[in-house]
Amino acid sequence: MTDLNDLRQHMIASIDACSGLDALETARVEALGKQGRITQLLKTLGGMTPDERQAQGPAIHALRESVTAALAARKATLEQAALDARLADEHIDMTLPVDAPLGGTIHPVSQVMDELAEIFADLGFAVATGPEIEDDWHNFTALNIPETHPARAMHDTFYLAGEHERPMVLRTHTSPVQIRAMKAAGGNQPIRIIAPGRTYRSDSDATHTPMFHQVEGLVIDKGITLGHLKWTLETFLRAFFERDDVVLRLRPSYFPFTEPSAEVDVGYSVVKGKRVIGGSEGWMEVLGSGMVHRTVLEAGGYDPAEWQGFAFGCGIDRLAMLKYGMDDLRAFFDGDIRWLKHYGFSSLDVPTLSGGVGA
């Protein structure tokens, strides 16, 4: 037993004396390699009597564990020392000139979000945000979407697994921000917000992706009418597309959270075989809108007998496609550097109403 204690002390002292990882590996092989001293001791257990094995076995295994722990501790110490030395030696001189031209571009979706914020800020709208993981009450129930509505189905909505107080989903639209904004206002203040952000639905083709971007608009006040809605959308679209000949057409439609509801079409002209917003050679749907349903007002804490409002929503990706001539929505999320360089924007292309929101 004394021999084993002496051996343990000798090996641990040798390990602690190792000044580098190569020396430590040599010490490990001498102790635990195929021909190592501890390995040879373990091989002797097979030739011992049961009484000898019972006496010597635990001591030999304890020796192996002590040496293994010492090796691991010394290795961690040496690796940390090497990292500290490397970090102390490496540095970047921030005063040196850049060798390569500045790269990177602003993604079209980010650019359009900035354009939307600039336009609506001039109209008195604030930007509101909400969680992308929502409970089904905010995402469906508070927006007057019944339990039997197809939008709640698994093939349309991404539900989160696990036990939750309420079913949790990846939000299918930015409309839940309406409810959160109304709740935050306490049911007694006017609201003018837009809510841009990511949304999720189980769909994928040239014009649909499982993750996409929407912007929601909400106005709550006293005496709000459809006329206010039409003027707001017309002003927005003319500023966004930077054309004074933008004309709108509102078609009756159905959305659970608005009543009456309207699809908004914008006139377009055909130029060199492509549809260009402006004029009235044809009509293209760009927005959904309507007066906020009284059930939604009540869910947000507002008295529908005193307060009215309108809401609208559209796809930010679709707006970018229409304005900047992109054909396939899937390319937005491919991460192809060639596409980003072609359609991306300079970081200096900051949208302003005075200079033009478009780049």
Half-sphere exposure of 350 (CA within 13 A, CB side): 2
Residue 138 structure tokens: 């905010």
Beta-carbon neighbour count of residue 99 at 10 Å? 5
Contacts with 92 (C-beta within 8 Å, 6 or more apart), sequence order: none
Q: Please report the pLDDT score of residue 101 as a whole number.
A: 55
Q: Over the stretch 333-343, which tens digit does the pLDDT of each residue have?
A: 887 888 888 88
Q: Across 87-101, 156-170, 278-292, which has the greatest mean pLDDT? A: 278-292
Q: Please report the pLDDT score of residue 5 as a whole number.
A: 83
Q: Over the stretch 29-43, which tens digit does the pLDDT of each residue have?
A: 888 888 888 888 888
pLDDT at 99 over 70: no
Q: Please report the pLDDT score of residue 215 as a whole number.
A: 93
3-state helix, strand, coil in the chain (%, to 5): 45, 25, 35
Residue 98 Cα distances to 10, 101, 304, angstroms: 55, 7, 60
Calpha distance 266→60 (Å, rounded): 85
Residue 85 structure tokens: 């030395």
pLDDT at 102 over 60: no
Rounded to two decimals, the pTM is 0.66
Average pLDDT, the chain: 86
- Domain ranges (residues) in the chain: 2-89, 108-343
Residue 207 structure tokens: 């014009």
pLDDT band at 356 (very low <50, low <70, confident <90, very high): low
Q: Please report the pLDDT score of residue 183 as a whole number.
A: 93
**Structure letter (DSSP) for residue 260:** E
pLDDT band at 219 (very low <50, low <70, confident <90, very high): very high
Find out whether the peptide bond into 252 is cis, omega within 30 degrees of 0.
no
Strands 191-200 and 126-127: parallel
Fold topology of 108-343: BirA Bifunctional Protein; domain 2 (3.30.930)
